[in-house]
Amino acid sequence: MLRFCLNGKPILLNGLLDQGYWPQGLYTPPSDAAVERELSEVKALGFNLLRKHAKIEPQRWYYHCDRLGLVVWQDMVNGGSRYNLWFVTYLTNVLQPALQRRLGPV
């Protein structure tokens, strides 16, 4: 049987879709403390995964997820139309920050 593993141990993923919407600033969180509070509430409710689509968060968001033990399922952001030559540049800009985050929190 195939299973997801984290640090070599099987893990049951129980997650939510996180739109990254903040009523105070649309897609901009009001503060670092607000991000930490929201992620802590997600963890307290028993979830261990957040699926992020539609946007890439600031690095502090990923830092707090890592610190709290939340797995991030990062979807590729879709521009909403056919992929053209611009997409190659776009992918570089999207993947580079993701690879930098993989090296560890800032």
Domains and CATH numbers, the chain: 13-102 (3.30.750)
* pLDDT at 69 (0 to 100): 95
* pLDDT at 78 (0 to 100): 67
What tens digit of pLDDT does each residue of 34-45 get?
Answer: 999 999 999 999
* pLDDT at 95 (0 to 100): 74
Q: Is the pTM of this model over 0.85?
A: no
Regions in the chain scoring below 50 on pLDDT:
106
DSSP secondary structure string for all residues of 21-62: -BTTTBTS-S-HHHHHHHHHHHHHTT--EEEE-S----HHHH
Q: Exposed (0-12), middle (13-18) or buried (19+): which is 44, by Cβ within 10 Å? A: exposed
% of the chain with per-residue pLDDT over 90: 44
* pLDDT at 102 (0 to 100): 62
Q: Which residues pair with 51 in a beta bridge?
A: 17, 73
* pLDDT at 106 (0 to 100): 46
Q: Give the three-class secondary structure for 91.
A: helix
Q: Give the C-alpha separation, 84 to 64, whole Å.
A: 35
DSSP secondary structure string for all residues of 62-73: HHHHHHHT-EEE
